[in-house]
Amino acid sequence: MAGEPDLDVAYVAKLARLNLSAEETRLFQKQLGEVLKYAEKLKEIDVTGVEAAAHGVPIFNVFREDEPRDCFTAQQALSNAPRQANNLFIVPKVVE
Amino acid sequence: MTRSELPALSIAELRPLLCRREVSPREILEALEERINAVDGKIGAYLSRDFDAAAVEAEKADINLPLGGIPVAIKDIINVAGQPCTCASKILRGYRAPYNATAIERLRAAGAIPFGKTNLDEFAMGSSTENSSAQLTRNPWDLSRVPGGSSGGSAAAVAVDAAFGALGTDTGGSIRQPAALSGIVGVKPSYGRVSRYGLTAFASSLDQVGSLTKTVRDSALIMNAIAGPDPCDTTCLNAPVPDYAAELGRGLKDMRLGLPKEYMIEGIDSAVRQAVDAAVKHLSSLGAEIVDVSLPHTDYAISVYYILATAEASANLARFDGVRYGYRAENPTDLLDFYGRTREEGFGAEVKRRIILGTYVLSSGYYDAYYLRAQKVRELIRRDFEQAFAKVDALVSPTSPTPAFKIGEKTSDPLQMYLADIFTNAGNLAGICGISLPCGFARSESGRPLPIGLQFLGKALDEARIFEIAYAYEQSTEWHKARPSLNDQSIVGK
């Protein structure tokens, strides 16, 4: 268990690919610090031997027949694209 | 029955009028449109509506179907093909759904007409609908107060007779809490009872689609239509769907109701406490046996919820990258600037806050301390309910610790806002079902009545039983008949 919360909002924002203004960074640092401090009480509980629950109603291995079905046409898939050409999404340049 | 009287009716009251041809689907739709036009300027419940398309559907509606010809409002986070689906976010402004959610397909198959989209907290993150990037929604009982959230638009629309019924979503209380604050019935089905296909994901292990209606019977009718397995959602449970409406009316004889001692805490508004105490006495007089039970890990539910829900949200919202749909930042200097600014400019403050918290609790060095530990405590919370349901048929509690609060009252203090879900979010963590219905009124300082909600929680897939209990309470009280009056209210201040 970690010690006192040592949240670094500016660093986490980089991980999240989310730019924040200086004002937002300062505000979130304070507000989320309080939320994490509140969550410190989880440390009180002995969780030795307790399985982690990813779902309230765990079910595993759901199968269905592998049958062809209707799916989006290229035009439907592109219908909300901010930029498109030649039936393709336009993305920013990623290699020089 | 004149046209202007139609919007006040319940779905169960409309259906016989339709079947006897005393009113047509088109007349119902027109009456509803008039009502919305008359009141929604004050309330702000709707983000969009398409009455032209709805009129075409009304003309060919098959009134022999269980919801034939009934218009239903849809929270603007559930996809209805051809209609906007903005999630009340700037990042999805202008988005039009290319397909129907399964819940929408099912509503249509039952004859209903999904005609309009209602306001919400951005991506369903909030308890007051103030986090909408589009507009404020006001509580029809007191226009200076919030309708609750995040399904606040759906709740306010139903409360003010501007919808016969609505779909909402409940991740931590987002159907039950606004239903309570707006004086109507709200149902959060068990996790996996209703397909999430076509619901824009917030926290995938907690999200569930449900109903907001004027009466318990109306919610049972909507649940009849939308519940059941779906090959498009593998978390949707493959269990038979009983006829929830047909089973109503058996009464409370031999029913054991648990009163969780941890739910009657300090900080509950005194009017809420009195109303719930009176409701429990009333349930006892109807034949239910009241049993004290304990949910020992209640105090940890909010922490567990906000760690798990934000972790899941940070992953789910990674898809908003400015490429396939939604807002896109202009003139990026490089790829990181493109992502970073698209998301900075597209998301509102609460969504950003939750992405940061969720990313943090999943990040290297903190995963075990926060995320993994929270999942383990979630298991303990789930066991609490399992042990309680071994002794009782259902649990009874307040839905929310307070009636509707003032617009702006909690916006600067996220932790206070998160505590509004204190009685509802454990139910999502445990995957069980819940219903909120009106059980009384508090008074605002200016003397306005503010609705109070009573919550019943049932074990997973036991919706029929909580419908039964809620129906017995509702039918032996008058609370559900009260309606807000807009005539003596005007919007003052912000």
Q: For strand B394-398 and strand B165-169, is the pairing parallel, antiparallel, or unpaired?
A: unpaired
Give residue A3's domain range.
1-45
Q: Which residue, among A93, A10, A71, A84, has the nearest Cα to B356 in the 3D structure?
A: A10
Whether residue A50 is contained in a domain is answered as: no
Provide the percentage of residues in chain B whose pLDDT is more than 70: 99
| Mean of pLDDT over chain B | 96
pLDDT of residue A43: 94
Concatenating the DSSP letter of every residue in B172-225 gives: SSTTHHHHHHHTSEEEEPPTTTB--TTBPPS-TTT--EEEEESSHHHHHHHHHH
At A32-89, the pLDDT tens digits run 999 999 999 999 999 999 999 887 777 788 888 889 988 999 999 999 999 999 999 9
Write out the two tokens for B62. Answer: 């098959």
Whether residue B111 is contained in a domain is answered as: yes
pLDDT of B493 strictly over 70: no
pLDDT average, residue stretch B262-277: 92
ipTM: 0.94
| Cα gap B93→B96, rounded to integer Å | 9
Whether residue A7 is contained in a domain is answered as: yes
pLDDT of B252 strictly over 90: yes
Peptide bond into B150 cis (omega under 30): yes
pLDDT of B494 strictly over 60: no
Q: What are the chain A neighbours of B322 within 8 Å (beta carbons)?
A: 82
Whether residue A91 is contained in a domain is answered as: no
Q: What are the chain B neighbours of A16 within 8 Å (beta carbons)?
A: 314, 343, 355-356, 359
pLDDT of residue A1: 41
Whether residue B109 is contained in a domain is answered as: yes
What residue in B sits closest to A88 (Cα-Cα)? B324
Which residue of B234, B373, B415 is in closest CB contact with A47? B373
| A91: closest CA of chain B, how far (Å) | 6
At B432-490, the pLDDT tens digits run 999 999 999 999 999 999 999 999 999 999 999 999 999 999 999 999 999 999 988 88
Q: What are the chain B neighbours of A54 within 8 Å (beta carbons)?
A: 205, 375
pLDDT average, residue stretch B174-187: 98
pLDDT of B492 strictly over 70: no
| Cα gap B111→B113, rounded to integer Å | 7
CATH number, residue A29: 1.10.20
Q: How many structural domains are present in chain A?
A: 1
Whether residue A34 is contained in a domain is answered as: yes
pLDDT of residue A2: 43
Whether residue A70 is contained in a domain is answered as: no
pLDDT of A21 strictly over 90: yes
pLDDT average, residue stretch B385-405: 98
| B236: closest CA of chain A, how far (Å) | 10
Q: What are the chain B neighbours of A53 within 8 Å (beta carbons)?
A: 375-376, 378-379, 382
Whether residue A29 is contained in a domain is answered as: yes
CATH number, residue B284: 3.90.1300.10
pLDDT average, residue stretch B309-319: 98
Which residue of A28, A47, A82 is in closest CB contact with B377? A47
Whether residue B219 is contained in a domain is answered as: yes
* SS3 letters across A5-47: CCCCHHHHHHHCCCCCCHHHHHHHHHHHHHHHHHHHHHHHCCC
At B72-131, the pLDDT tens digits run 999 999 999 999 999 999 999 999 999 999 999 999 999 999 999 999 999 999 999 999
Give residue B259's domain range.
7-296+381-481
| A92: closest CA of chain B, how far (Å) | 7
Q: B360 in contact with A at a CB cutoff of 8 Å?
A: yes
Q: Which residue, among B101, B56, B112, has the nearest Cα to B79 in the 3D structure?
A: B101
pLDDT of residue A4: 56
The better pLDDT of the pair B296, B418 is held by B296
pLDDT of residue A64: 84
Whether residue A55 is contained in a domain is answered as: no
Q: Model's pTM, two decimal places?
A: 0.97
Whether residue B325 is contained in a domain is answered as: no
**In chain A, residues 22-81 whose CB comes closer than 8 Å to chain B:** 24, 28, 31-32, 34-36, 38-39, 41-43, 45, 47, 50-57, 59, 62, 64, 72, 76-77, 79-81
pLDDT of residue B339: 97
* Active site positions of B, annotated: 75, 150, 174
| A7: closest CA of chain B, how far (Å) | 7
pLDDT of residue A61: 85
**Count of CB atoms within 10 A of residue B23's CB?**
20
pLDDT of B41 strictly over 90: yes
pLDDT of residue B425: 96
Q: Which residue, among B125, B180, B107, B119, has the nearest Cα to B309 in the 3D structure?
A: B125
Write out the two tokens for B235. Answer: 């978390």
Q: How many structural domains are present in chain B?
A: 1
